[in-house]
Structure 1
Amino acid sequence: MNWKGVFPAVTTKFNEKDELDFELFDKNLQFQLEAGVHGIILGGTLGESSVLSLEEKGALVKFTVEKVAGKVPVILNIAEGATKDAIELARLAEEWGAEGLMMLPPMRYKTDHRETVEYFKAVANSTTLPIMIYNNPVDYKIEVTLAMFSELVVCENIQAVKESTRDLTNVTRMRNLFGDRYSILCGVDTIAMEQLVMGADGWVAGLVCAFPEETVAIYTLVKAGKLAEARSIYRWFIPLLELDIHPKLVQYIKLAEAQVGIGSEAVRPPRLTLIGEEREAILNIINTGIATRPTLPDYKSIVID
């Protein structure tokens, strides 16, 4: 697994019957691939993992693997409460054709240091799939500390971290302690360029779901050292990227996907689509961004070492 580049945490598309909408999902997927993304992550926060059945997760993985056809790796998120359930989902992910896992700490119960480390080790030791740990204590209440990462180095397939602590210094701390042992991918859209400049290897992105070209362009330009060009796009993008750090990020980003024609607003209850003043306010941000969308350089021709 090459944990570098832009990895969209794609949304799950639903139709009017609250069933998986594979046709619309594929439309968005093809836009991601055409933009040049480097991997696809299924069943994350944006993918509404907590309300997907096991059968739906399997169907999504199999469909995505078929449509991606080896162009980029397909990664499944694991967000379970019981260790045995996480181990079983890791086994199924491999069976379904996934090429990697993204893993949150245990859900619901707030594990301590020893419990968190043993949870990750148990799952890692049960599978051959490479793993990216999703470190998001702001939303999920358990921090995977540097001391924990020190213990997890013995698991060779724990290879990366989705760094969502909001602490920019963690990129440097991880590098100082572990060198290149762990790949570091930014998991918060609003600090992505900053983390990339400080040495992060990639970006697990949210607004990429609606704006894939702009997202990949920023990553490519930063890695090519073209910081002024990247900064110009990033400054335009920031009001949109801020939609990623709200509790209703799923509704906000799905509305953006609908506005650019590669998604719909449909969410699965208990989430509800936006209404009234809130919807109008978010639409104003999205439509202002669309109206002022920058002309991108030919980022696809840039070769990154």
Structure 2
Amino acid sequence: MSIKWEGVMPAVTTKFTENDELDLKTFKVNIQAQLDAGVHGIVLGGTLGEASTLTDSEKRTLTRETVAFVKGKVPVLINIAEQSTKEAIHCAKKAEEDGAQGLMLLPPMRYKACDNETVAYFKAIANSTSLPIMIYNNPVDYKIEVTLDMFDELLEACPNIEAVKESTRDITNITRIKNRFGDRLKILTGVDTIALESLIMGADGWVAGLVCAFPKETCAIYELQKAGRIKEAIEINRWFLPLLELDINPKLVQNIKLAEVATGIGTENVRAPRLPLHGEERKHVLKVIEDGLKNRPTLPEYKNL
């Protein structure tokens, strides 16, 4: 089983009904929009997917339903964000049983593991599964950094650790990773606001957030820069930036779900303790979305460049 670690991989939102159950109908409307736009993979159960609020049964349902719906067109990955090594290994086993083609791994949750503990955690999970793995490196939000020396140890011990979701916010880290590991460790940028810059500096792909509401624009930026049409990619990115900034916010889930409503491929329903936006905060986000839609660019034909 292998994954081509490149292109746009949406970290999709989880859709809920008014009764706080999985809304698979709306979820599949969004997934179809992603496929139509030309995405290269689907990432389930990340931060944007409200992973911490999902039951084990719901995660398994999302995985099975997505795998069945996508029908092999793109790989389906499931995020693992657990408090114990034992439970993370259990989740990896279930993901494989449910047909996932890959895993995204976060460091241990709640406990701030040291470097040695973090490496041991990742090794134990990787050695328990045949699935290819992308390590999610986000020290800003999760307080644990996976350093290059740690990756050195992981890559030597675990052939199925193949990629990193690079979210340190330090674009120069892309060059450091490339200089150290070449193509052994594929890089997918994980921060929407610096995604284009990261791709130009050598990132192989983009695990994206606002793609959930604007799949075509996101894929256009990726394909244009890949084809060397940087000026056109920059023009779209300049329009996109105020929307992309909705992703680097504690309420990114509510923000992006509001954007999905505006583009007709989602609902606003979130799971408590999250609540829908209200007051001035809601007005601000709606204004950003409204301005974006008002000035939405006409995209060039970006497929098959």
TM-score range, shorter chain: over 0.9
Deviations 1:87-126 (A, max 9, x none): 0000000000000000000000000010000000000000
1:298 aligns with 2:301: yes
What corresponds to 1:5 in structure 2? 7
Post-superposition offset of 1:200: 0.2
Q: Distance in 2 between matches of 1:66 and 1:291?
A: 36
1:14 aligns with 2:16: yes
What corresponds to 2:196 in structure 1? 193
What corresponds to 2:182 in structure 1? 179
What corresponds to 1:34 in structure 2? 36
Given candidates 240, 245, 258, the residue that maps to 2:243 is 240
Q: Distance in 2 between matches of 1:2 and 1:86?
A: 24
Task: Give the TM-score normalised by structure 2.
Answer: 0.99
Task: Give the TM-score normalised by structure 1.
Answer: 0.99
Give the partner amino acid of 2:167: S
Q: Distance in 2 between matches of 1:277 and 1:242?
A: 17
Give the partner amino acid of 2:301: D
What corresponds to 1:260 in structure 2? 263
Q: Distance in 2 between matches of 1:279 and 1:114?
A: 43
Given candidates 266, 279, 284, the residue that maps to 2:282 is 279
What corresponds to 2:221 in structure 1? 218
- 1:65-76 paired onto structure 2 within 5 Å: 65-76=67-78
| Aligned-CA RMSD value | 0.4
Given candidates 133, 143, 153, the residue that maps to 1:141 is 143
Given candidates 131, 147, 159, the residue that maps to 1:156 is 159
What corresponds to 1:131 in structure 2? 133
Q: Distance in 1 between matches of 2:12 and 2:155?
A: 29
Give the partner amino acid of 1:110: K
Q: Distance in 2 between matches of 1:91 and 1:153?
A: 21
Post-superposition offset of 1:276: 1.2
Q: Distance in 1 between matches of 2:226 and 2:110?
A: 38
Structure 1 consecutive aligned stretches of length 4 or more whose deviation exceeds 4 Å: none
- 3-state DSSP of counterpart to 2:49: coil
Post-superposition offset of 1:220: 0.4
Deviations 1:68-92 (A, max 9, x none): 0000000000000100000000000
Post-superposition offset of 1:277: 1.1
Unaligned residue ranges in structure 1 (runs of 5+)? none
Q: Distance in 1 between matches of 2:279 and 2:125?
A: 44
Deviations 1:41-79 (A, max 9, x none): 000000000000000000000000010000000000000
Give the partner amino acid of 2:246: L
Q: Distance in 2 between matches of 1:301 and 1:202?
A: 17
Give the partner amino acid of 1:239: P
Q: Distance in 2 between matches of 1:65 and 1:122?
A: 26
Post-superposition offset of 1:301: 3.0
What corresponds to 2:59 in structure 1? 57
- 3-state DSSP of counterpart to 2:275: coil
- 3-state DSSP of counterpart to 1:217: helix
- 3-state DSSP of counterpart to 2:151: helix
Unaligned residue ranges in structure 2 (runs of 5+)? none
Q: Distance in 2 between matches of 1:114 and 1:274?
A: 40
* Identity over aligned pairs, percent: 68
Post-superposition offset of 1:238: 0.2
Give the partner amino acid of 1:55: S
Q: Distance in 2 between matches of 1:150 and 1:301?
A: 36
